[in-house]
Amino acid sequence: MACSNTKTEQHLQHNTISTQKYTLVPYDTLSVPIDSLTSNFYPLFQFRQFSGQNVLAIYSSNAHRIYLYNFATQQNFQTIALQNEGPHAVPQLQGFHLHKKDSIFLFTFNHNNIQLVDSLGQVTDNYNVDNQLDRSSNYEAMMVDYFDPSYIPATNLLTFWISPFIRQQTSAYYQFPLAVDYDIKQKMIIRNYGYYPDFFKGDDIYFLRSNLQRLLTDDYDIHYFDADHNMYLYHPQTKELVKTVYARSKYLPARIEASTKVGNESMPLQKQRNYNITNGRYDRLLFDKDNSIFYRFVRHPQELLAADGLMNGKLTNDLSVLILDRDFGVAGEVLLPANVFMDDFCFVSDGLLWININHPNNPMNEEHSLKFIAYKPLKL
């Protein structure tokens, strides 16, 4: 199923403007203490709700442990120690899905194997994805931080992202579906979905595999990309593409620059770094169920060099939050203070938008704590 909208057509598209108008106001702050082995910079995390309890799960790669915090009290109430050796050995994590406090799916750097562990860190099951795939397709089972996996007990389906082992600078890469539904009882992939062959036009390629992101709501399985104003809405059960919606930040150009060209070798590291610094992009998409609004984080374009002549960084861009109503109409966009927020580390809880403020340039950043500011949506 090819997506019908391409980047070259974006200048012809327009936002749907909502009849509702929102802004964001600071509401609360919170600090979660962490140990010396846990980094507060780009940690793997999940925020979940269990029986009315808000749980923040943090993976420490140095300690090789998953810490569960009661978000209301900021207390660590459970530590899951993952083993480095023996029959229950777990490689370093690339991502995880906290289904329950005693059932955690682990996506590791052993790309084709997914492990299920209990509250003691014991491996209770293994899912070898590689042996279920057509060898001619050259798939790897991999996961990116932003493509949030999900598990639906009623259907036994674990949904995650995979990558064809094909060089991304070839058009063949974009002919493969990048998401799968995996039945953990049958231990097999039962559905592939998420085709994006129209993401290149001519020689331009607008995303690489690490740019694919996902948000699951009751109504939609939403796929989106950092260099695309569009969002692709799949049916959460049938996984058919229902529609494509366009929602552009006023701070981004109508046509975002392509990241590379078909046939090119991988982008040199310095050129890739410069591209990530200067080009604006979309980051996280969140849904506030209590207020029926979406938040889409936006990093603004910036010059390669700052006023003092030093090179800017990937996180020195100005940051805003595009607010969308339930039907994806634009209901406002709020500019946030620069060099304060780590917008990839954010979540919604009880009608509040929580954003991490452990930005390396933020004077309030403290090494042994995770700090957050909560914003409350205000209807104008």
Q: Could you report the per-residue pLDDT of 21-78, keeping only the tens digit for each?
A: 999 999 999 999 998 888 777 788 999 988 788 999 999 999 999 999 999 999 999 9
Beta bridge partners of 333: 322
Mean pLDDT (whole number) for 331-343: 93
Nearest to 54 by CA among 1, 10, 98: 98
For every residue of 271-286, DSSP letters joined together read HHHHHHHHS-EEEEEE
Report the candidate in 46, 62, 55 with the shortest Cα–Cα distance to residue 77: 55
What are the pLDDT digits (tens) for 275-301?
777 888 898 999 999 999 999 999 998
More confident residue, 58 or 199: 58
Domain 7-379 has CATH 2.120.10.30: yes
Higher pLDDT, 345 or 199: 345
Q: How far apart are CA 342 and CA 329, in angstroms?
A: 25
Provide the β-strand partners of residue 285.
Answer: 296
**% of residues, the chain, pLDDT over 90:** 48
Query: How is residue 227 written in tokens?
Result: 């260099």
What's the rounded Cα separation, in Å, for the pair 247 and 228? 9
With beta carbons less than 8 A apart as the criterion, state whether 25 and 376 touch. Answer: yes
What is the reported pTM?
0.89
Residue 4 pLDDT grade (very low, low, confident, very high; cuts 50, 70, 90): very low
154 vs 43 pLDDT, higher one:
154
Given a cut of 80, is residue 362 above it in pLDDT? yes
SS3 213: strand
pLDDT of residue 344: 84
Lowest mean pLDDT, pick from 159-163, 174-178, 289-293: 174-178
Res. 95 pLDDT band, cuts 50 70 90: confident
Mean pLDDT for all residues in the chain: 84
**269, containing H or E segment:** helix 269-278
Classify strands 204-205 and 212-216 as parallel, antiparallel or unpaired. Answer: unpaired
Beta bridge partners of 371: 31
Query: pLDDT value at position 52?
Result: 83
Report the pLDDT averaged over residues 330-343. 93
Residue 2: which pLDDT band, with cuts at 50, 70 and 90? very low
Contact 93, 44 (CB under 8 A): yes
**pLDDT > 70: what percent of the chain?**
81
Most confident residue range from 44-53, 55-64, 173-182, 251-260 = 55-64
CA distance 282 to 320: 10
CB neighbour list of residue 61: distance below 8 Å, 6 or more residues apart: 39, 44, 92, 93
At residue 12, does pLDDT exceed 60? no
For residues 135 and 357, the model is more confident at 357
Of 68-72, 143-147, 173-177, the least confident: 143-147
186 token code pair: 């049958």
Residue 140 has pLDDT above 70, yes or no: no
Q: What is the spatial distance between Cα 32 and Cα 261, in angstroms, rounded to a whole number?
A: 44
The answer, yes or no, to whether residue 7 has pLDDT greater than 60, is no
Lowest mean pLDDT segment, chosen from 132-141, 170-179, 236-245, 262-271: 132-141
In this structure, what are the phi and psi dihedrals at residue 253, rounded to the nearest 5 degrees?
-70, 160
